[in-house]
Chains A and B, each alone.
Chain A
Amino acid sequence: MRLEKCWFCSSTIYPGHGIQFVRNDAKIFRFCRSKCHKNFKMKRNPRKVKWTKAYRRLHGKDMTQDTTFEFERKRNRPERYDRNVVENVLKAMPKIVKIRTEREERHHKERMKGKKGKLAKEAKQELQQGIHLVKAPSVLQEEPSLTLPKIKVKVFQPQSEENHAMEE
């Protein structure tokens, strides 16, 4: 029994599911459900459809390079049955799955984390630059408690000092 992958969305096709299209040049296209088949008939490119694995891989949403991907392969050769090997494989499978899910979770966490810090930094910088739009510089001078703690941005510091000097 071979578990095939869907041409469009790369999900696993279990026996008795989906549909298969054989083109007149003998190329086989397998689809997991009518959704994928319809999208294929509409000539959509899976790399441009956001919910497919191909898109997610290409755009760094999912983990791309990992050692756990080396285990599942299409083997186009007969394998001699060996009871010990089968036993070991069965023992290893849940471990590999566990490792992979852990790594995927870490990848997702990493991906979500990165943007938050960047956004916060950008917002802080914008506030620093545009504070004169919220409060007039003269008011700020009178009440130093309103000013934000300074971030070290080299380009803007000499300018602000100059401005203060001018007002004085």
Chain B
Amino acid sequence: MGGKCPHRSVKKRRYSHKTARRTKFLYKGDDMVYDELQKPDEERKLLPVDEDLPGMGQYYCRHCDRYFSNVAVRDEHFKTKRHKKRVKQMMGPAPHTQLDAEIAAGMGMPDNGPKLMSM
């Protein structure tokens, strides 16, 4: 539920739902997560210690882009339906991009011209 904004006189606008929606903005987009997952394992860096995140940012789910407070909670998350659904989605075809939209609109591949500096 949203927090209370008591100074608002209009009944409709009394509650702010911004805090409830805040988490929605924090998560990465599907395409960002997908790109992250496509990277080979060697490129993955160690999780930096961040005291603002739950569990100092050490327990992370790459598929769902979520931080957990400890290993037990994270492993519990791995068992959930939501996580499994997400993994399946990420195993599938690449998410929709602007290029897909343009091709669907009947445009060809972008023309970047010949490479000027050929090494």
Contacts and interface: CB of A to CB of B under 8 A. Distances in A.
Contacts, number: 69
How many chain A residues sit at the interface, stated as a range, is 20 to 34
A41 to B, nearest CB: 9
Contact of B98 (A29, A53, A57, A71): A29
Nearest to B98: A7
Given A8-B101, A29-B98, A73 B106 contact: no
Residue with the highest number of chain A CB atoms closer than 10 Å, among B32, B96, B101, B113: B101
A128 interface: no
Given A47-B96, A54-B96, A5 B110 contact: no
A18 interface: no
A77 B105 contact: no
A30 B109 CA distance: 18
Contacts of A6: 101
9 contacts: A5-B101, A6-B101, A12-B105, A46-B96, A68-B106, A74-B107, A75-B113, A77-B111, A77-B113
Interface of B: 29-32, 95-96, 98, 100-113
Closest 6 CB pairs of A and B: A77-B113, A10-B105, A53-B104, A74-B110, A73-B108, A10-B104
